[in-house]
Structures are given as structure tokens and as C-alpha cells.
């Protein structure tokens, strides 16, 4: 069975054509800067890496280009009918779906209703679903929701201390995100550590968007993102935690609409707007290492929020056995890993600095004497997705 996996974001996209029966990735595409003039594709086939510069704004054109490459250029398949299913990662489900589902008109309608809760992602998710229906109109499509892994949390954890009528009327509660990634790395940690130190886990998914989850006995106890993905840690363009009174204060002072305020929190905050240079932590890291005062402040804010959240997770779990570091920033930055772990001395974490300078590898980076095991695990949402899709369709 060949499954096309579409993991879409607001300005980037990852495709994988996955042969699940042979556990083999046939092609992996990563598209960056969608709808911008310098958009490009990186793709890999049989360990051969390629790059294509394309100014394409239409989702159908991207799909047609993808088909041209897999059918004509790389000859991975002979006909598009060989694609048996298409899987889509969808960020927000509100309270409608508790597991992956086959996409129909009702599912599309529900995803659309959640756009206001995930304005950077749900529109992109919908666009790819609609584009695939036009080109692969006989192929079943499956949606897997970013929040479903976290549905083990207790009621006292997901309710807000406001009138319950708002929960009953509008489903206002904590939902949590990056569930596919948190599930993958927690399961992978179990395989690596043979269940020796995986009873109480803290999984740290820190990329351009970021969240931290506390997991006990394979059930999520708490996590940092709440009602929408804007909450929690300092991120690329998102503010993370902020006193809600700040928002009403600014709206009054600046005469801002709710739409304008939402745009500020999602697109005009975080690292990008603190530095006025870039939301990419690689650049922030370079300036930090050069001892630039502004970037040092931003880095301290960034690290401080991560450590605070890990501390809260330790309290939720009443200790931690294993801390997992994953996603773009933590899979690649030895500097940020070091800064975080140095601040966890109070739980006797010991970093082995001699093995910390690496990228994109699976590696335990704590010493043998460390009271807590720290492991870097590159996330693989697509593999989790392929397995979920196969289980639905088999």
C-alpha cells in the first residue's frame, strides 16, 4: 500500500510517498516559502538530494509538479492510481474527532469551523484536501488531528476557571497540539530505553512552533499549548503565554479589532518581532554567540520559558525519568540544548558535552551519572500518520 502523506503548514509543506508494507519512503518533498517569489522544493530519492526553484502559488500546480516528478522524472510509480490513500495532518479538531477519520463533506465542514482557532494552519490543511480531491478524486483521504493524542487528560486539566456555559456553548477548553510528534517520540523512547526509564516522560517539541508535554504511563497529563497553538512557549512569530488583560488593554489603547489582535499574537510576536531580524533560531543563536545584547535577551527569554514549562511538567508528574528533545530547534542546536540542560541542575541532569555537538541524530546526551535520561529523537510524524492511515483502511 502506497500512502501519500501531506503535512502542511502555513508557508511550508512536507510530502512523503510511503510504501507502508515495505516500511519504505519512496520520495520525500519539503516545500519552503509557499506563495513567495523565492519558494523552493527539496526532495530526496534513494539518498539523492535535489533542489528545485519554483514560483508556484496554486496548490494544484504543486501537486501536478509532484506527479510529474514521481511519474516522469524519477519514475517512482507508473500511474497515479498506484497511490492507495492520502493522509492529511490537520491542526485543530475542536471537539469533533477523537481519532483519525476518513474525509467527507462533514469532516471538511468541521475543519473549516476550526479556522479561527488555528488561522495559520487549518486554511492550509483545507486547501490541500480540496486540491487532492480534484486530482485524486477516487482515492480515500484520511485526516489525523494534532490534538487527539492528548485526549487522555483529566477534566480538571482541560477546563478553564470561567463560567462552564462557555464550554457547553462554544467548547472553550484546553486542546493541546503537536500530538502526532509527541506520540512518536514517546513510543520511540520506549523502544530505545527498553522501558527502563520511560515511566514519566517530558517530551519537548521545539521548532518554529513549540510545545512541551508531560506523559505518565503513556497517558498525557498536561502540555503547554492550550485553547489554540498560540499559547505556551515563545515561538517564531507567536507570543506564547501572555496575561489576557494585556490584550484588552492594547485593544483599548490601540483601537484594535479582535482580528488585528489575533494577527499580532500569531504573526507579529515571538522571536521575529523581538529581534526585528528573523524568527529563525539559527540566526538568533549566531547573534547570541557573538554576544549581541538584544539577541542575548531574546535567547534568555526563549530558554527561560522552556525551563519554566519543564519545571511545571515535573510538578505534574511528581518527578521525571526521561526528557525527550525533538523538532527542528532541539534536533539541531547544541547551544540551545546546552542552555536548557544547564538550567536543570536542580533535578541532577548532567549533559555529556563531548557528544552534544551534532544534528539530526538519535542520541542520548546525558551522562551515565545523570539522574534523568535526556535523549534527542528526530520526530517522524509521517511514519505515525502512515500507520494510522493503514489501520483505518486495511
Query: DSSP 3-state helix, strand, coil percentages of the chain (rounded to 5)?
Result: 45, 20, 35
Catalytic site includes residue 243? no
- Nearest alpha-carbon partner for 152 in 118, 175, 181: 175
CA pair distance 238, 272, nearest whole angstrom: 9
What does the radius of gyration of the chain's CA atoms come to, in whole angstroms? 21
Helices 293-317 & 334-342 angle (0-180, nearest 10) = 60
Listed residue (346, 210, 229, 338) closest to 285, CA to CA: 338
Q: Look-up: residue for cell 526563549?
A: 302
DSSP 264: H
Sheet containing 219-223: which strands, arranged edge to edge? 219-223, 210-216, 200-206, 322-326, 373-376, 363-364
Can you spell out the DSSP letters for 100-127? -EE--HHHHHHHHHTGGGSTTTHHHHHH
Q: What are phi and psi of 78, to 5 degrees?
A: -95, -20
Q: How many CB atoms lie within 10 A of CB 285?
A: 20
Produce one character per residue of 172-184: b if its CB has 16 or more CB atoms within 10 Å, e if not.
bbbbbbbbbbbbb
CA distance 221 to 219: 6
Element (H, E) at 338: helix 334-342
Which distant-in-sequence residues (6+ apart) come within 8 Å of 311 by Cβ? none
Catalytic residue among 58, 68, 79, 146: 146
Report the C-alpha dihedral over residues 362, 364, 152, 148, rounded to 10 degrees.
-20
Catalytic residues: 146
Amino acid at each position: 500500500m502506497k500512502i501519500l502523506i501531506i503535512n502542511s503548514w502555513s508557508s511550508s509543506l512536507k510530502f512523503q510517498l510511503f510504501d507502508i508494507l515495505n516500511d519504505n519512503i519512496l520520495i520525500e518533498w519539503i516545500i519552503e516559502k509557499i506563495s513567495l517569489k523565492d519558494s523552493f522544493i527539496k526532495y530526496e530519492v534513494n539518498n539523492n538530494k535535489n533542489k528545485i526553484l519554483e514560483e508556484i502559488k496554486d496548490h494544484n500546480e504543486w501537486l501536478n509538479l509532484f506527479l510529474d516528478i514521481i511519474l516522469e522524472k524519477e519514475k517512482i510509480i507508473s500511474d497515479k492510481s498506484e497511490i492507495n490513500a492520502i493522509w492529511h495532518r490537520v491542526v485543530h479538531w475542536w471537539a469533533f474527532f477523537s481519532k483519525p477519520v476518513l474525509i467527507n463533506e462533514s469532516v471538511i465542514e468541521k475543519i473549516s469551523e476550526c479556522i479561527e482557532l488555528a488561522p495559520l494552519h487549518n486554511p492550509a490543511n483545507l486547501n490541500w484536501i480540496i486540491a487532492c480531491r480534484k486530482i485524486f478524486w477516487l482515492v480515500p483521504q484520511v485526516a489525523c488531528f494534532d490534538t487527539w493524542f492528548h485526549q487522555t487528560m483529566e477534566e480538571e486539566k482541560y477546563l478553564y476557571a470561567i463560567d462552564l456555559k462557555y464550554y457547553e456553548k462554544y467548547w472553550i477548553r484546553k486542546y493541546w497540539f503537536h500530538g502526532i510528534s509527541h506520540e512518536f517520540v514517546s513510543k520511540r523512547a520506549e523502544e530505545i530505553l527498553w522501558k527502563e526509564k520511560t515511566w514519566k516522560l517530558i517530551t519537548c517539541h521545539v521548532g518554529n512552533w513549540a510545545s512541551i508535554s508531560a506523559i505518565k504511563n503513556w497517558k498525557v497529563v498536561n502540555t503547554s499549548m492550550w485553547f489554540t497553538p498560540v499559547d505556551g512557549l515563545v515561538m517564531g512569530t507567536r507570543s506564547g503565554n501572555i496575561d489576557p488583560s494585556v490584550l484588552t488593554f492594547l485593544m483599548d489603547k490601540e483601537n484594535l479589532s479582535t482580528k488585528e489582535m489575533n494577527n499580532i499574537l500569531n504573526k507579529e510576536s515571538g522571536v521575529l518581532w523581538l529581534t526585528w531580524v528573523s524568527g529563525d533560531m539559527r540566526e538568533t543563536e549566531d547573534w547570541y554567540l557573538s554576544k549581541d545584547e538584544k539577541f542575548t535577551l531574546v535567547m534568555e527569554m526563549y530558554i527561560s520559558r522552556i525551563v519554566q514549562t519543564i519545571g511545571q511538567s515535573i510538578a505534574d508528574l511528581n518527578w521525571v525519568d526521561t526528557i525527550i528533545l525533538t523538532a527542528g530547534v532541539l534536533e539541531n542546536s547544541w547551544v540551545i540544548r546546552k542552555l536548557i540542560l544547564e538550567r536543570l541542575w536542580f533535578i541532577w541532569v548532567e549533559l555529556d558535552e563531548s557528544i552534544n555537538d551534532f544534528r539530526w541524530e538519535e542520541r542520548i546526551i546525558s551522562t551515565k551519572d545523570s539522574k534523568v535520561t535526556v535523549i534527542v529523537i528526530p520526530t517522524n510524524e509521517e511514519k505515525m500518520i502512515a500507520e494510522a492511515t493503514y489501520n483505518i483502511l486495511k
